[in-house]
């Protein structure tokens, strides 16, 4: 009892260095667990980018490719789907709803998506959430645009502003549809999905701004004014992709096969969930890198603790000699030092975990709001418990090194007490 009390008193006599070690370990544990939480959160948010859609249809291509350009708005479609194919698919008996998507233009670096108001009805993210507007309303006029939260925030747009859509996808467009400006009719709430970085316009509007163009340039002398274009039939010739909802999910493979074997045109239908998994497999390398970095941080903190114990070892030679003189066994001396390291690590691990949960509890809504990342405030997983236990164990082992050194020195010192 006295020995333990004295060990604690010894520790409290060195409280500042001990506290710093505990804090270093606590912060590293916080980082490690935090990275893990963000990783799971990111994975979940990623998997939740699109839900409620049973199939995504595009021209024949790989599933990741189709997912990238239709949902993530990255890269380009190699080919379009003809309007006829789209209407054929829409009239398939198992299909409940379809949303056409036409991509290819941009506004100051943000993709422009031509679609129908159904998109806002059927596109779901994060297990079934609908897109909602923070301002204004869904487009009703031909030249109305609904912009994502990031577009509004970074370009400072509000409802009623005029915007001009550029032809093509560069952030600086050399060809602009400046004869037919759009009006911002609504701004969407932040979702944490690519929707935030998209300008949504009507499918007909995409047709309208290209009606007097051919081969990607305006045809000279044939310009049709924004007023005249309203009188024309704006049925699109082709779209880039379509989202499909089925009457019954059980039909998903049947419909997928029907689309993949559609005789008039080579098409692909992919299951968004499966394609998301496949895509995560590609970006998952970053996860491993994050994990490795935080493991290194923990190792650094443990090194710091060993340094702390080693630097105090010299002043503790007196302690060792006294304990040896009253008959303490090497085991006791070793045990005291290793226990000290264990106690410090355990305190650090507990403090780090508590701090992380506190920070998460406070910052979670903010992270969701600003980064669209939904981090679950869940109990530590088995993996996390194992890791934490491993850190404490590593701390005890790390303490054994200095302990053995201390014992050797106490032997060499013999009866002399050195300071």
Q: Which residues bind other proteins (CB under 8 A)?
A: 1-3, 5-6, 9-10, 12-13, 318-319, 321-322, 324-332, 411-412, 414-417, 419
- Nearest approach in angstroms of CB 333 to other proteins is 10
Whether the Cβ atoms of residue 243 and residue 213 lie closer than 8 Å to each other: no
Which residue number, 10 or 154, has a Cβ lying nearer to other proteins? Answer: 10
- Nearest approach in angstroms of CB 418 to other proteins is 9
Which has the closest alpha carbon to 41: 281, 331, 310, 377?
377
Q: Cα–Cα distance between 319 and 3 in angstroms, integer?
A: 11
Q: Cα–Cα distance between 229 and 246 in angstroms, integer?
A: 35
Which residue number, 11 or 238, has a Cβ lying nearer to other proteins? Answer: 11
Which residue number, 5 or 249, has a Cβ lying nearer to other proteins? Answer: 5
- Nearest approach in angstroms of CB 327 to other proteins is 2
Query: Which burial class, exposed, middle or buried, applies to 258 when counting CB atoms under 10 A from its CB (0-12, 13-18, 19+)?
Result: middle
- Nearest approach in angstroms of CB 8 to other proteins is 9
- Nearest approach in angstroms of CB 348 to other proteins is 22
Which residue number, 207 or 319, has a Cβ lying nearer to other proteins? Answer: 319
Which residue number, 6 or 96, has a Cβ lying nearer to other proteins? Answer: 6
- Nearest approach in angstroms of CB 396 to other proteins is 21
Residue 13 has φ and ψ, to the nearest 5°, of -70, -20
Whether the Cβ atoms of residue 399 and residue 341 lie closer than 8 Å to each other: yes
* Residue 308 tokens, joined: 């702390």
* Residue 179 tokens, joined: 């004869």
* Residue 20 tokens, joined: 């710093």
**Facing residues of 124 across strands?**
51, 130
| CA distances for 341 relative to 128, 304, 404, angstroms | 49, 11, 13
Which residue number, 105 or 319, has a Cβ lying nearer to other proteins? Answer: 319
- Nearest approach in angstroms of CB 1 to other proteins is 7
Which residue number, 290 or 328, has a Cβ lying nearer to other proteins? Answer: 328
Whether the Cβ atoms of residue 167 and residue 173 lie closer than 8 Å to each other: yes
- Nearest approach in angstroms of CB 7 to other proteins is 10
Which residue number, 8 or 310, has a Cβ lying nearer to other proteins? Answer: 8
**Facing residues of 199 across strands?**
112, 147
Q: Cα–Cα distance between 363 and 291 in angstroms, integer?
A: 21
Non-local (6+) Cβ contacts of 319 within 8 A are 10
Which residue number, 127 or 311, has a Cβ lying nearer to other proteins? Answer: 311
Q: Find the farthest-apart pair of alpha carbons in the chain and give their distance in angstroms, rounded.
A: 107
Which has the closest alpha carbon to 336: 75, 10, 64?
10
Calculate the CA 243 to chain-centre distance. 23
- Nearest approach in angstroms of CB 129 to other proteins is 59
Which residue number, 183 or 409, has a Cβ lying nearer to other proteins? Answer: 409
**Facing residues of 335 across strands?**
none
Which residue number, 1 or 377, has a Cβ lying nearer to other proteins? Answer: 1
- Nearest approach in angstroms of CB 283 to other proteins is 54
Calculate the CA 126 to chain-centre distance. 12
- Nearest approach in angstroms of CB 12 to other proteins is 7
Whether the Cβ atoms of residue 171 and residue 153 lie closer than 8 Å to each other: no
| CA distances for 189 relative to 129, 151, 160, 192, 241, angstroms | 11, 11, 17, 9, 24
Helix (DSSP H) and strand (DSSP E) numbers for the chain: 14, 16
């Amino acid at each position: 009892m006295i020995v333990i009390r004295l060990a604690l008193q010894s520790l409290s006599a060195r409280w500042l260095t001990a506290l710093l070690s505990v804090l270093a370990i606590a912060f590293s544990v916080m980082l490690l667990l935090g990275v893990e939480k963000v990783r799971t959160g990111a994975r979940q948010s990623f998997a939740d980018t699109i839900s409620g859609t049973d199939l995504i249809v595009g021209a024949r291509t790989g599933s990741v490719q189709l997912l990238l350009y239709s949902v993530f708005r990255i890269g380009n479609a190699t080919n379009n789907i003809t309007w006829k194919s789209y209407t054929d698919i829409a009239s398939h008996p198992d299909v409940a709803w379809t949303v056409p998507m036409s991509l290819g233009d941009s506004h100051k670096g943000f993709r422009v998506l031509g679609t129908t108001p159904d998109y806002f009805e059927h596109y779901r993210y994060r297990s079934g959430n609908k897109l909602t507007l923070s301002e204004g309303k869904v487009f009703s006029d031909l030249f109305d645009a609904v912009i994502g939260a990031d577009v509004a925030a970074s370009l400072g747009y509000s409802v009623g502003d005029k915007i001009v859509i550029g032809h093509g996808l560069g952030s600086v467009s050399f060809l602009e549809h400046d004869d037919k400006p759009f009006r911002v009719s609504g701004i969407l709430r932040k979702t944490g999905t690519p929707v935030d970085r998209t300008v949504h316009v009507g499918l007909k509007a995409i047709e309208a701004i290209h009606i007097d163009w051919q081969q990607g340039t305006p045809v000279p002398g044939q310009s049709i004014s924004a007023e005249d274009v309203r009188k024309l039939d704006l049925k699109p010739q082709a779209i880039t992709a379509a989202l499909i909802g089925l009457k019954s999910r059980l039909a998903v493979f049947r419909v997928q096969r029907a689309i993949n074997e559609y005789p008039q045109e080579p098409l692909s239908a992919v299951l968004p969930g499966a394609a998301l998994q496949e895509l995560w497999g590609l970006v998952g390398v970053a996860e491993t890198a994050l994990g490795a970095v935080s493991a290194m941080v923990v190792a650094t903190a443990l090194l710091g603790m060993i340094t702390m114990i080693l630097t105090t070892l010299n002043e503790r030679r007196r302690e060792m000699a006294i304990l040896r003189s009253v008959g303490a066994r090497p085991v006791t001396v070793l045990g005291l030092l290793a226990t000290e390291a264990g106690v410090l690590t355990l305190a650090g691990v507990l403090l780090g975990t508590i701090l992380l949960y506190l920070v998460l509890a406070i910052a979670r809504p903010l992270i969701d709001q600003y980064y669209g990342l939904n981090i679950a405030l869940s109990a530590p997983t088995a993996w996390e418990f194992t890791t934490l236990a491993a850190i404490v164990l590593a701390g005890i082992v790390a303490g054994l090194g200095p302990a053995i050194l201390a014992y050797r020195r106490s032997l060499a010192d013999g009866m002399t007490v050195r300071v």
